[in-house]
Amino acid sequence: MDELVEAFAERRPSGLEQAYALWSPLFLSVARHIISDRANAEDCVHDALLRVWRAPNRFSGSREMLKGYLVACVRNEALTTLRRESRHDARALKAARLDPVPAVDAPSVDPVETQRLQGALARLPEDQRIALMLAYYGNKTQVEIAKEVDAPLGTIKSRISMAMRKLHAELASPGGNRW
């Protein structure tokens, strides 16, 4: 087996250094063909080589196979980078086309309704109340809530759904409807 391939396959730093020294112009050319900006292309080559280097699978083959494998990895990384930038640009363009949101006055807060809501929240079972509060006042996703309270995601979804149904039932009627 070629010394370069052996060093690369055994994850010796010299293997990565030699591959980069030998083929970096080719890698940069491949990345630049896809990503026009030189700095981004250099970052892409760096990221691709590190990703390959850190990957648990080991390369075994000839020097030419290693070269082709690394070129393919750089190409894939460049395409991923290009797609990511493209999505970002599309979102920015879409946001630029949106009409500005007109300024609105802060909604008036009805103290009686606020008191009804606080009372209804207080009457929820604790696990449902915590899940609902983390979602709405804590701006957390259901996945984040599940991790925080150490409960399965399905349980969190059920708790929030049940809490919302109970709040709706109680707050929909003027006199309050205790479940």
Q: What are the structural domain ranges in the chain?
A: 3-97, 111-172
Closest CA relative to residue 4, chosen from 68, 74, 67, 71: 67
The correct answer on CATH 1.25.40 for the domain covering 3-97 is no
What lies within 8 Å, CB to CB, of 83 at 6+ separation is none
pLDDT at 146: 92
CA distances from 139 to 18, 62, 99, 136 (A): 49, 53, 26, 5
Q: Concatenated DSSP letters for 136-170?
A: HTS---HHHHHHHHT--HHHHHHHHHHHHHHHHHH
pLDDT at 15: 83
Intervals of the chain under pLDDT 70: 1, 56-60, 96-108, 174-179
What is the rounded CA–CA span in Å between residue 154 and residue 146?
9
Kindly report, residue by residue over 140-174, the tens digit of the pLDDT: 889 999 999 999 999 999 999 999 999 888 888 76
3-state DSSP assignment of residue 34: helix
Q: Determine the topology of domain 111-172 in CATH.
A: Arc Repressor Mutant, subunit A (1.10.10)
What is the rounded CA–CA span in Å between residue 111 and residue 98?
35
